[in-house]
């Protein structure tokens, strides 16, 4: 199994009827400002370097971001904020993530825990479970992986659930918060960070300075 074949499998996946219906409905109806776009409307795989030491693990593609562009954290407000921060600390070659062929290079690997956009950004337990094998294979393929940055609680918990399959741990013992750091029993380091959603950014819960300071800490351990 290669990353390329895994990407193809994720793109073709139709396991979750609710998610397939929702992603295709959005792709058909579109947002007025993107009427000239041919929406992706499929499962969205991760992207980055096969020899990555850092995985950035988010929730799911955004309706008019990853579900439109075909690349996670691409073409929406969350992407604008995140890549401005990643570029500032030298983890990305440019401060923008606009479309799949924009020349973006990431010093790491970024992926969603759930590969399709869920209604209200709230996947069901079954939908999260259906995507777990894909994430597990990403972990297995990234042989040089050293640390995981969980953006939001679902991304954070998804890493713990993967590790729990081979190493006994209680998820409740790993409290999520911005800037938390844990050494996991399989050797990985797990960081937690607030998700760069417009809600978190606009309310000041997450600021540019907060995220940059945090990413500098993460980069220092690479």
Q: What is the CATH number of the domain that holds 100?
A: 3.40.470.10
Question: Which run of H or of E encompasses 136?
Answer: helix 125-141
CB-based burial label for 1 (10 Å; 0-12, 13-18, 19+): exposed
pLDDT, position 131:
97
**Mean pLDDT confidence for 77-85:** 97
CA distance 212 to 220: 12
E-strand stretches of 71-211: 109-112, 147-151, 181-183, 189-193
Q: Side by side, which strands form the sheet with 47-48?
A: 47-48, 109-112, 54-58, 147-151, 189-193, 181-183
Over the stretch 119-129, which tens digit does the pLDDT of each residue have?
999 999 999 99
- Going along 71-188, which residue ranges are E strands? 109-112, 147-151, 181-183
Instruction: Using alpha carbons, list the distances in angstroms from residue 119 to 23, 44, 76.
Output: 9, 15, 17
- Overall pTM surpassing 0.75 (yes/no): yes
Other Cβ atoms less than 10 A from the Cβ of 35: the count is: 8
Average pLDDT, the chain: 97
Domain that holds residue 39: 3-220
Per-residue confidence at 53, pLDDT binned at 50, 70, 90?
Answer: very high
**Does the pLDDT at position 1 exceed 80?**
no
- What are 192-211's pLDDT values in tens digits? 999 999 999 999 999 999 99
Token duo for residue 188: 């990985």
> Could you give the number of structural domains in the chain?
1
Percentage of the chain modeled with pLDDT above 90: 99
């Amino acid at each position: 199994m290669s990353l390329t074949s895994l990407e193809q499998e994720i793109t073709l996946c139709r396991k979750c009827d609710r998610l397939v219906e929702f992603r295709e409905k959005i792709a058909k109806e579109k947002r007025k400002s993107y009427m000239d776009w041919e929406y992706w409307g499929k499962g969205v795989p991760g992207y980055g370097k096969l020899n990555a030491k850092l995985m950035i693990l988010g929730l799911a593609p955004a309706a008019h971001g990853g579900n439109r562009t075909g690349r996670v954290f691409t073409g929406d407000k969350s992407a604008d904020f995140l890549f401005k921060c990643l570029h500032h600390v030298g983890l990305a070659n440019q401060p923008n993530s606009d479309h799949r062929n924009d020349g973006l290079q990431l010093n790491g690997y970024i992926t969603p825990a759930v590969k399709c956009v869920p209604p209200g950004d709230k996947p069901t337990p079954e939908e999260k479970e259906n995507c777990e094998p894909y994430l597990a294979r990403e972990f297995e393929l990234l042989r040089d992986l050293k640390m995981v940055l969980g953006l939001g609680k679902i991304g954070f918990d998804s890493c713990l659930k993967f590790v729990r399959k081979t190493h006994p741990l209680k998820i409740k013992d790993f409290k999520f918060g911005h800037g938390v750091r844990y050494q996991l029993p399989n050797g990985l380091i797990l960081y937690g960070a607030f998700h760069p959603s417009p809600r978190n950014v606009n309310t000041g819960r997450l600021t540019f300075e907060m995220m940059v300071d945090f990413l500098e800490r993460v980069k220092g351990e690479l």
